[in-house]
A and B are shown apart, each in its own frame.
Chain A
Amino acid sequence: MPQNQVQAPVPGGGIKQKILFVSGKGGVGKSLVAAAVARREAEAGRRVLLVEIGDLSYFKDLFHLERVGHSPVRVPGQGFDLAIWNGESCLREYVLHYLKLRRLYHVFFENRVIRALINIAPGLNEIAILGKITSGIRKVGPPLDYDLIIVDCYATGHALALLGAPRGLMEAVKIGPMGAQSREIDSVLRDPDLTAFWIVTLLEEMPVAETLEFYQRLQEEFGIQSEVIVNKYLQLPISERELETIAEGDAQGLGEFARYLGAVAERQGRFLKALEKAGAPLRKIPLIFTTETDCLIREAEEALRTT
């Protein structure tokens, strides 16, 4: 499809499909944030698909689902659909869609050479996944009937490799369908009207360092302006000055806890400043005192709505 059609208005004036990538250092709560925004958007009346990448579904047990696979399933009580895509499942769908002949398709995937190739060919998995994610916008392959695709993406390092794959391939293979598709995918990723990026972080040394690096590299290498979502922000019940009084005056009782809270407050302030200095737009999700998934998502959703 020619590139200019990517930007074409939707016939009938409907909402144009958009993509949101959610990334961050491992263990900061990306998936929870992705689910919270999926729920928020679904409640606002949008048709939302939450996509996991890889082989292992984080949400399957969390939402008590029997199965999560390539084809979207509705998540009960959440209002959005969920799917898990990996290089092979995306490639299979794509090949079946284009080769049409099921027999040829089997020859293709049962072939040892092809299997080995899919496992290791540089960029093929990444292109297959990104190709699927952007297929609705590019109007390529089976229809993807959603207003918003939210991608619970890899952690920052692998996310950069994923996002860099189309550019890498279009430089390596300039002509032919592979080059053309890579160019299309790359232009969708870089278009702020179509694609948004969120980086989830905790206000701690390593996650913030990784966030700042990822934020800058998205800007410099992809021209992408991302937003930063601060997760588990500890909202103090009293002022830092009052905390200090307790820390100093009650050594036996709450003193140690007050000192702990004071240290957390100081650390949070320091890292918020560093993020603000980098110019990153920020949203905060407070630390929520529950382990119950539904409650966590609901509270996070509320926080995202109000910040």
Chain B
Amino acid sequence: METLAMHISNGIVNGPVAAVFAAFALAVLTLCVLRGRRDLDDRLAPMAGLVAAFIFAVQMLNFPIFTAGVSGHLLGGALAALLVGPWVGALCVAVVLVVQALVFGDGGVAMLGLNVTNMAVLGTAAAYLLIALLLRVLPRTPAGLAVTAFVSALVSVVVASQGFVLQYWLGGTTDLGGNLAGLAGTMAGVHLLIGIGEGLITATTVVTVAKVRPDLVYALRALRPAAPAPVVPVAGGAR
């Protein structure tokens, strides 16, 4: 059977660059622990455990992206940022990546800093910046939440993919003969398509949670504090 690798494998980026990103990832995750503790209470902690477990599960579900022989899977940064906030969300994705590297042989242990930087740090940060912007300007409806989730998820995947391109530029093990732009373009194109899948999964999941337990969606608590819950004034006022 072919190996089922989803993240950066050993030998793709050289040791020194991987070590620098490991230090960077560790520093950012430490900051996330310090800032995330403000958010982590008796209600958010179990929710964050669930978000990590859910991301692990959905990452296993590679979906076709309608270009020959290529699949995509959820990264989860936007989903985590929406449900448990940016600081705890980045930690959730990092937990998934650590479990995958140490137990499932997915993503080299020596490459963990690179994978954490791209998916946990860059992906979650890009997503939350967009979430914070979009939730403020879009209407407070399930559709507004869905659009926010879709766009932030899509963009976060492309940003994460370009994080890898930067790392490969700094320490890639094969000389591309100056064709870094080719790699950047290929990565961006493929991950734009994957981002559509990521966006659909993220929007579906978050809208579902918001319907069942709106109080458990961090982004709605933190960014739309005036609305106690998306008990959207049943659109009747507009009619």
Question: Are these two chains actual partners, yes or no?
Answer: no
- Give the B-binding residues of A (Cβ under 8 A): none
